[in-house]
Structure 1
Amino acid sequence: MLSRKTDDQAHAARTMWNLLHAWWQLMPKDERTLVNADAAIRQARKDIDFLAVLPAQAAQAVLKTYFQAWKNCWEGRADAPNFKGRFRSVMSVDIPQGRDLNITRVHRRWGVVNIPKLGRVRFRWTKDLPVGKGANGDNRITGARLVKDALGWHIAFRVQTLGRKPEPHAGPEVGIDVGVTVPLALSDGTMYDHDEWLTGKEKAKLLRLEQRAAHRKTARKRAERTSGRLRATYDQIAGLRAKAKRRALDWQHQTTAAIARTYGTIVVEALTITNMVKSARGTIEEPGKNVAQKSGLNRAISGEAWGRTVMMLTYKAVQHGGTLHKVPAPNTSRRCSACGFITPGSRQSQAVFVCKNPRCGWSANADHNAARNVLHLYRMGLALIPAAGRAVARRARRVKPATAR
């Protein structure tokens, strides 16, 4: 019953967003103001009955989020907002007022929170929250957000804390190579690996569910609605995949936090992952080769989520006073990190590198060799300038020096 009521609020919030977007497209430009939009959603809540299940503060949060989306678009940070589909958008409800939550800790692992129009709801207590005596003007809860995924509804609290600027990290420099066989290899020889995200029984269950879903889908007649049993199978598949994603996120958070705490300067490759996972199928005139092997490699690369790992390393390095730099990626896995030469045949496999230069002969793990090359490129001064830095550099070059009078 509680989940059904939360679903109704989320659908009402999505409908409110779509009504705002339709209103925005119909109104003249000079009348697209926050005041007029507020009057429009107030009238909509009176005219459409099911919108009343959404609390008034949550409706105001939808309005502010919509206008912020347009602001982000105008400033070039995001695309223009669009309609939200029923099955393509994430179901969520915003609770903008922290004083309405009334959070109480009832157990070491559980707490109770007050959700408007839902009542008292129990949640899992995973992090310390500034409640009771620990809450003050600098450390307090300013709001929350209910989000639904394949595993159910979850609550995320917005916490305002007074942080201090971290001291510069005095740790060593390190180069990192990302891969499929070894997810993270460091230039000092450290390797970070993980097990499969799903156990053997869970993988077998996922295979059975996918086969069952495929069988029921082929048995369905054309233009026939999806049956309840097929939807239940899809929900079970989504639950297992969500569980795997949650385990992957947990591993990435713990690993990147450990690296950010240990090293002051982190260097990674500037990879274009979208190009790396392109299909090798080719065209009818020029069919591709090793299509199945390339598809398996693409799935492995997507499963490791290298871009998300770099994103986590970026902000966690800043939190600990460190820095993250990117260097060009070409030939980092083919070049010998001992002599600096690229000799054909040195990369013998995904795990072994043996330099074929007669004067060298250095051998090591292939990922360790690539990580050493990544760090060496940074020490040579070949770190790439971020996009914002390049724009500033271009403007600086265009400015002529002032002449003395």
Structure 2
Amino acid sequence: MWNLLHAWWQMVPKEKRTLANADAAIRQARKDIDFLAVLPAQAAQAVLKTYFQAWKNCWDGRADAPNFKARFRTVMSVDIPQGRDLNITRVHRRWGMVNIPKVGRIRFRWTKDLPVGKHANTDNRITGARLVKDALGWHIAFRVQALEAEPEPHTGPEVGIDVGVTVPIALSDGETYDHGEWLTKQEQAKLLRLEQRAAQRKQHRTAGERTSRRLKHTYDQIAGLRAKAKRRALDWQHQTTTAIARTYGTVVVEALTITNMVKSAKGTVEEPGKNVAQKSGLNRSISGEAWGRTVTMLTYKTAHRGGTLVKVPAPHTSQRCSACGFITPGSREGQATFVCKNPDCGWSGNADHNAARNVLHLYRIGLVAIPAAGRAVVRRAKRVKPATAR
């Protein structure tokens, strides 16, 4: 449906690219093409709404222009925009039943509390659902409309956070959140074996030849292992960010430009880069930690609990001594130790906790980074002291 809609968009003149004309084209296509008629009408309207929203995001500069979707590069999903016909019932503690248009009653694993039965009302109800297929199977996500009270201001302490590769999250109060490998040794060995098998089978293909079923099956196994690793990483991030948002009232992080940090060091033919393989490995490690996703989780979780998330400029936070403020490029001895080169100071300690304390110090002196027009602008903000009772 998306590809047909995009093809229609490219064929018609600009003055006819309207929502009404697109809706009429979809209705006519559902009458002429049998397999489109199988798709529920509500799901087809959801595709139309998503497509027009994609163009709005493009015109506002938030995303690239929409394009055709491929079967193997796109997440398969079907949207059910209305929730009145879902008829959700809970069978027992672990399973529930839902009615899907054109499919019937299906069973799903009950992992979240849903407003069904006597718990559903006009302020707390299910408004729709979406079926999603990934490497681990089919999932259903319910959209819930809920009326929540304004949270009370969080009275917890302030904390600075430094993110890294060796130590994923280090706090200014000395707390550290670490994790192991996302896959076990057996799973890592299986993943390596599957990648080697896929590379070997790919060598026997000629240019333009279709992918064999065996190679597709190998790709599916690789995708399943990587999806399992991603799910474990998401679980760790959710648990960690929830614990931080629950404990601290003000969370201070660095305003990192991750896209610039993971740029390739390959260079050009005239000026080739240096340490390309090492930089490539570092880029994979940074991407694997998903720092941006951690900040996104902290943003809405702190707001949900009445807290605040603040970003400060990132330069020199790992090179500055948190005791005296002296900045020296060679102050980090190894990965984990910081030694101040100031002869009048000489402080030493954990490098990650030192950087986290510098992050918190920048906020306390009022130096914050405010995103504006796609870039970080540093501004010195005034901090208002709370009024004391007399």
TM-score tier (shorter): over 0.9
Residue 123 (structure 1) aligned with residue 91 (structure 2): no
Going from structure 1 to structure 2, the CA distance change for 1:273 and 1:135 (only over 3 Å counts) comes to same
Deviates more, 1:175-184 or 1:267-276: 267-276
Going from structure 1 to structure 2, the CA distance change for 1:378 and 1:281 (only over 3 Å counts) comes to same
Other-structure match for 1:326: 311
Other-structure match for 1:54: 39
The aligned length equals 379
**In 2, are the aligned partners of 1:344 and 1:356 still within 8 Å (CA)?**
no
The residue identity in structure 1 corresponding to 2:70 is: G
What is the Cα deviation at residue 210 of structure 1?
0.6
Selected match of 1:86 from 56, 60, 71: 71
**In 1, are the aligned partners of 2:371 and 2:377 still within 8 Å (CA)?**
no
Distance 1:129 1:82 in 2: 35
Other-structure match for 2:279: 294
State the secondary structure of the residue aligned to 2:369. coil
The residue identity in structure 1 corresponding to 2:84 is: R
Selected match of 1:138 from 116, 123, 128: 123
Residue 170 (structure 1) aligned with residue 170 (structure 2): no
Distance 2:57 2:66 in 1: 9
The residue identity in structure 2 corresponding to 1:381 is: G
Query: TM-score, length-normalised on structure 2?
Result: 0.92
Other-structure match for 1:284: 269
Other-structure match for 2:388: none
Distance 1:389 1:325 in 2: 17
Selected match of 1:336 from 306, 310, 321: 321
Distance 1:72 1:329 in 2: 29
What is the Cα deviation at residue 39 of structure 1?
1.6
Other-structure match for 2:88: 103
What is the Cα deviation at residue 30 of structure 1?
3.9
The residue identity in structure 2 corresponding to 1:81 is: P
Going from structure 1 to structure 2, the CA distance change for 1:122 and 1:384 (only over 3 Å counts) comes to same
Q: Structure 2 unaligned runs (5+)?
A: 380-390
Distance 1:294 1:66 in 2: 38
Deviates more, 1:18-27 or 1:151-160: 18-27
Selected match of 2:56 from 35, 59, 71: 71
Deviations 1:84-127 (A, max 9, x none): 22322221100111011111111211111111111111111101
1:221-300 aligned at under 5 Å gives the runs: 221-300=206-285
Other-structure match for 1:20: 5
Other-structure match for 2:365: 380
Other-structure match for 2:383: none
| Higher relative strand content | 2
Selected match of 1:351 from 336, 339, 353: 336
State the secondary structure of the residue aligned to 1:162. coil
The residue identity in structure 1 corresponding to 2:175 is: T
Other-structure match for 1:9: none
Going from structure 1 to structure 2, the CA distance change for 1:32 and 1:287 (only over 3 Å counts) comes to closer
Other-structure match for 2:300: 315
Identity of aligned residues (%): 85
Going from structure 1 to structure 2, the CA distance change for 1:206 and 1:222 (only over 3 Å counts) comes to same
What is the Cα deviation at residue 213 of structure 1?
0.8
Distance 2:377 2:260 in 1: 28
State the secondary structure of the residue aligned to 1:385. strand
| Higher relative helix content | 1
**What CA RMSD, in Å, does the superposition of the two structures yield over aligned residues?**
2.1
What is the Cα deviation at residue 242 of structure 1?
0.4
Distance 2:113 2:208 in 1: 51
Distance 1:163 1:393 in 2: 34
Distance 1:30 1:282 in 2: 45
